[in-house]
Structure 1
């Protein structure tokens, strides 16, 4: 009975965001990440990736489920 317990997908995603994705995005200046406050805002290089985000959002129905979860950047 002592088998492995799986981490729910949303929790695993949050762990990956915290330890992998947000640090990389912040290092490249795409976002500003305040770890203590738990906030993420657009960084000085955000406009460099805006076209990519727009394409992803416009094609969200053709992508695997959960790939795009937010509204278009304004």
Structure 2
């Protein structure tokens, strides 16, 4: 029993490390959010779906970074699938493991420090909606 718990514990640690590594770059976060908004069987166009609307980037540079860095990393951990022509991404078998991080943040938007909300359209909107709901009650 102890050996099994140890092995399970190591696996859980590895998976959390993979999830947190996946969300350390803005294009990956934006892509995960875009895929969360899409139907589970749909793909999203790239590089458009990996752009923060508040901080637009050069699409050619972003496309290159997606192709050579971000997409392979997410695909290696099975968070996404992707195709090159056209450049699109879809949900991978482990997508929910990264999506849940953003779902938890959105659910708790009113508790997140303002310094982490202001400038993030999604969290700003969620915070506003939750505050409006609590005032209406």
Structure 2 length normalisation: TM-score? 0.34
Which of 55, 58, 67 is equivalent to 1:10?
58
Which of 50, 57, 60 is equivalent to 2:99?
50
What are the ranges of 5 or more consecutive residues in structure 1 without an aligned counterpart? 1-8, 69-74
Q: RMSD of the alignment, in Å?
A: 3.1
- Please identify runs of 4+ aligned residues in structure 1 that moved more than 4 A: none
From the two aligned structures, give the one with the greater helix fraction.
2
Which of 64, 70, 73 is equivalent to 1:21?
70
| Equivalent residues, number | 59
Q: Which has the larger radius of gyration?
A: 2
Bigger RCO of structures 1 and 2 (CA < 8 A, at least 6 apart): 2
**Corresponding residue number in structure 2 for 1:38:** 87
